[in-house]
Amino acid sequence: MFHRPSYLSNVEKKAVISRFWKKDPSLWAKDPEIQKQITDRLGWLDVIPKMREAQGEIESFAQDVKQRGIKRIVLLGMGGSSLCPLVLSQVFGSKEGFPILKVLDTTDPDEVENVAKSGDWNSTLFLVASKSGTTVEPNALFNYFWPLIENEVSDPGSHFVAITDSGTSLEKLGNDRGFLKIFLSPSDIGGRYSALSYFGLVPAALLGVDIDRLLQRAEEMVTKCGPDMPLDKNPGCMLGEFLGEFGVQSRDKLTILADPPIKSFGLWLEQLVAESTGKETRGIVPIIGETTGIPGFYGGERIFVYLRIKETPGEDSLEGFMSELREADFPVYELWLEDLYDLGAQFFLWEMATALASHFFDVNPFDEPDVRRSKEKTGAILDVYRAEGKMPIKFWVDPNSQMHFRASEMLAASMKSLPRALRDIFHVLPTWGYLAFLPYLPYDPEIEAIIGEMRYFVREKKGCATTMGYGPRYLHSTGQIYKGGPSSAAFLIFTRKRAKDYPVIPDFGVSLWHIQFAQAIGDFEALSDARFRAIHVHLPADYRLGLRNFSKVLSRSARIK
């Protein structure tokens, strides 16, 4: 049974908040073994005092890196270890005199090659961030870059820093290779709740962000959210209740809007909400990156959160749009930020609110059971390739568009027409569902623009929500809710043919292109096994042209009854 916050008395709500601050794992699970696992993931509730103790060390390290003449930091990470630094780099940028930060959270070979070809190795520092130390993407990236550095500098280890848990293979690697520094994060914090730990604060300090100020804002929010605060003045309680109350009433599409200076915050928020709540066919589906439209285009399952910053010019405000949504009876929740440093407060606020919403959904917010399926399938596909020298996959060729594709079992295996497969998706997809666009392609503004046009068309035509996430980044972000959350979803996965041969990564036996392609295949198969409607489109090497051609096929198919 779901807990329904609207039915809870104030006494009951206060009891929930009290249990929350006492780190009572029974808020999220009854099984003793699962409760023990949850207890080992609640360190984010009191991580700030620990980071205060480490603040001097972090700041001193950032100054040493600056004085050493480092001009570029390249962060190798995925999911919880990369999204907070990505947000900070896009929101704050680099303070004058401090290095730029490039977050590399992909296995796309062209994206990685661009990093390898730009910048000077002598003034580059790599930050390898992985809680477990076993995540395939940062490990493959490390193995790619290490020989390049080793060939160019006399002391390659001094160009690498690790952030990880104690006792991991990454800690051992750092010691064996003579890394410049190894930061050991508290092991009782899961990746997506690690923004206010070393994983977020070390990259922040390297950018020149004032981490004292960032932590101060977080501390102020912790106080406001404390167990003794009145319920109607407790931000964590109010936001958690908003998400939980509407979520259990099937208003499960959380549309996140933000003023331009903090727009990228949605990338971190998307992972936190999706991976925490998306279990057992329920959860909150975060929608970011959509263009705004008239309220009539939105389905009744929508709720909206608007993050506003007081220094934003009036012409960039979405205040008028919010008024239209309220007039149309959509639930709207506004959050005001004094300035950019209020992100410190927002990190904690959303962690608390998401954990509380997960209680109302009756799910464990600290695991990700469905993420493993894609990882296991990816590993099996790569094993076949290593043994046989070819990928275990065959595409159909659409007779009209000549596009290569394949469809999941739910779209009828005999169907060899891409327009028919797309029509099947459109005819079955309900207005309260959503369609996900998942490109395993380089991070390319033109790709986002083309997919943005398709997202607008789908919303206008079907009235349903859309999401977009680059692969493999989304596997560590929204991948959990795609397979474990609400079942009213369909998926379009895009890969591309190799434009050239890419180098084999040492100790992996395959190139980055093969890893990325296998990840796409693995997730497609996981979605198909879970009985979702999914189409995998294999674009030509000129992926921009191929995606534009697909857009035309999609438009024509959706209009045919």
| Residue-level pLDDT, tens digit, the chain, 561 residues | 333 445 678 898 899 999 999 999 999 999 999 999 999 999 999 999 999 999 999 999 999 999 999 999 999 999 999 999 999 999 999 999 999 999 999 999 999 999 999 989 999 999 999 999 999 999 999 999 999 999 999 999 999 999 999 999 999 999 999 999 999 999 999 999 999 999 999 999 999 999 999 999 999 999 999 999 999 999 999 999 999 989 888 899 999 999 999 999 999 999 999 999 999 999 999 999 999 988 888 888 999 999 999 877 777 789 999 999 999 999 999 999 999 999 999 999 999 999 999 999 999 999 999 888 899 999 999 999 999 999 999 999 999 999 999 999 888 655 689 999 999 998 889 989 999 999 999 999 999 999 999 999 999 888 899 999 999 999 999 999 999 999 899 999 999 999 899 999 999 999 999 999 999 999 999 999 999 999 999 999 999 999 999 999 999 988 765
Sorted by where each begins, the domain ranges of the chain are 5-28+228-361, 44-209, 371-559
Q: What angle do CA 4, 19, 346 make, to 5 degrees?
A: 80
Residue 2 pLDDT: 34
- Here the tokens at position 343 are 């992100």
Question: Fold identical between 5-28+228-361 and 44-209?
Answer: yes
Q: May I ask the CATH class of domain 5-28+228-361?
A: alpha beta
Residue 290 pLDDT: 92
Residue 244 pLDDT: 92
Cα–Cα distance for residue pair 172/133, rounded to 1 Å: 9
Between strands 396-397 and 404-407, the pairing is antiparallel
Specify whether domain 44-209 bears CATH 3.40.30.10.
Answer: no
Q: Which of 279, 256, 233, 189 is nearest to 17 (CA)?
A: 233
- Return the CA Rg of the chain: 23
Cα–Cα distance for residue pair 127/117, rounded to 1 Å: 18
User: Can you tell me whether residue 73 is helix, strand or coil?
Assistant: strand
User: What's the N-to-C CA distance of the chain in angstroms?
Assistant: 40
Ordered strands of the 489-496 beta sheet: 396-397, 404-407, 533-539, 489-496, 434-439, 465-468
Residue 558 pLDDT: 81
Residue 32 pLDDT: 96
In this structure, which CATH number among 3.30.300.130, 3.40.50.620, 3.30.70.2190, 3.40.50.10490 belongs to the domain 371-559?
3.40.50.10490
Whole-structure pTM value: 0.96
